[in-house]
Amino acid sequence: MDGVRIPQLRTILFPPKGTQKSALREWVETIVVAGLIALVIRTYILQIFYIPSGSMIPTLHPKDRIIGLMFTFRFRLPQRNDIVIFKYPEDPHKNFIKRLIGLPGDELRIRDGDVYINGILLQPQGYQVVRDHSYFGPVTVPGGQYLVLGDNRPNSADSRVWGFLPAKNLMGTGWIRIWPPQRLGFYQ
């Protein structure tokens, strides 16, 4: 092996001044930058979520995949009927998705499956729910917290089971269903 020298890793990663970057260093830089961009997008802009249960039927079905907008609540307050993605209050390592129904200060009660907010019957606008014949409340939603319900009321563990959702647990809103392909599209 006369005349053949194996370059040192330091020379490959950090070539002397005045020389071009090595191909390996350019690859490493590209991968690091792409990784950082992906991390920022996933944390602050868009994230894909898998729907594991039927608690949001008929809006979302088990095995659906949706894109969540992670920046929504940086620009506006949560609104009634938003489909919200949040850290489950009893285990913050789990993400849940439900419909936001009660805002801070609202008095909420459920009578024979009908939801009343401040004494007025809530009429679903642009979405359907699977009704049950439950009774709940009256409760007043505390400041800095929300009340969320699944659209499939008889089969949803939601605020009726584990209590109010702290505002700090809100992550974003559901935006678009991307799986399965035949159900691709926006939902309410």
98 catalytic residue (yes or no): yes
Beta-carbon contacts of 70 under 8 Å, excluding residues fewer than 6 positions away, are 42, 43, 44, 45, 46, 47, 171, 172
Q: Which tokens sit at 101?
A: 């129904």
Catalytic site residue from 22, 55, 87, 134: 55
- Rg for the chain (alpha carbons), in Å? 24
55 catalytic residue (yes or no): yes
Catalytic site residue from 98, 134, 156, 168: 98
Q: How many angstroms from the chain centroid is the CA of residue 103? A: 19
Nearest to 122 by CA among 143, 145, 95, 153: 153
Beta-carbon contacts of 55 under 8 Å, excluding residues fewer than 6 positions away, are 98, 150, 151, 152, 155, 156, 157, 158
Residue numbers annotated as active site: 55, 98
